[in-house]
Structure 1
Amino acid sequence: MSTFSIPTRSEVTSGNQAIFDNLQKGLGFVPNLYAYFAKNDTALGDYLALQNRKSSLKAKEREVINLVTSQINGCRYCQSAHTVLGKMNGFSDEQILEIRRGRATFDSKLDALAQFTAAVVINRGKATAESIAAFFSAGYTEANMIDVVIVIGDKIISNYIHNLTDLEIDFPVADEL
Structure 2
Amino acid sequence: MSATSSSVARVPLVDPANATGTVRAVLDQIHGAFGATPHMFRAVANSPAALQSMWGAFGALGGGVIGAGLGEQIAVAVANRNGCNYCLAAHTALGRKAGVSGEALAAAQSGESTDQRTAAVLRFALKLVNERGQVDAADVQALRDQGLSDEHIVEIVAHVALNLFTNYVNVALAVPVDFPGVKLRPAR
Asked if TM exceeds 0.5, the reply is yes
5+ long unaligned stretches in structure 1: none
- In 1, distance between residues paired with 2:68 and 2:149? 17
- Once the two structures are overlaid, the 10-residue window that deviates more, 50-59 or 71-80, is 50-59
Alignment of structure 1 residues 79-90 onto 2, 5 Å: 79-90=88-99
Q: Give the structure 2 partner of residue 113 of structure 1.
A: 121
Aligned to 1:157: 165
Partner of 2:27: 20
Cα pair 2:140 2:153 within 8 Å, conserved: no
Query: In structure 1, what is the equivalent of residue 174 of structure 2?
Result: 166
Matched, 1:134 2:150: no
Superposition pairs of residues 8-157 of structure 1, within 5 angstroms: 8-53=15-60, 54-105=63-114, 107-127=115-135, 131-157=139-165
Separation (CA, whole Å) in 2 of partners of 1:168 and 1:43: 19
Q: CA deviation at 1:129?
A: 5.5
SS at match of 2:48: coil
For 1:94 and 1:51, how far apart are their aligned partners in 2? 25
Residue by residue over 1:95-128, the C-alpha shift from the partner in whole angstroms, topping out at 9 and shown as x without a partner, is 11100101112x1111111111111111111236
What is the CA-CA distance between 1:65 and the residue it aligns to?
A: 1.5
Q: Relative to structure 2, which stretch is displaced further, 5-14 or 57-66?
A: 5-14
Deviations 1:56-90 (A, max 9, x none): 21112211211111111111100000000111122
Query: Which residue identity lines up with residue 152 of structure 1 in the other structure?
Result: V
1:169 Cα deviation from its structure 2 partner: 0.3
When the two chains are superposed, the root-mean-square deviation of aligned CA atoms in Å is 1.6
How many residues in Structure 1 have an aligned counterpart in Structure 2? 176
Q: Which runs of 4+ in 1 moved over 6 A?
A: none
Unaligned runs of 5+ in 2: 1-6
**1:26: how far off?**
2.5
What SS is found at the alignment partner of 1:156? helix
Tell me the amino acid that sits aligned with residue 45 of structure 1.
Answer: Q
Percent identical residues: 23
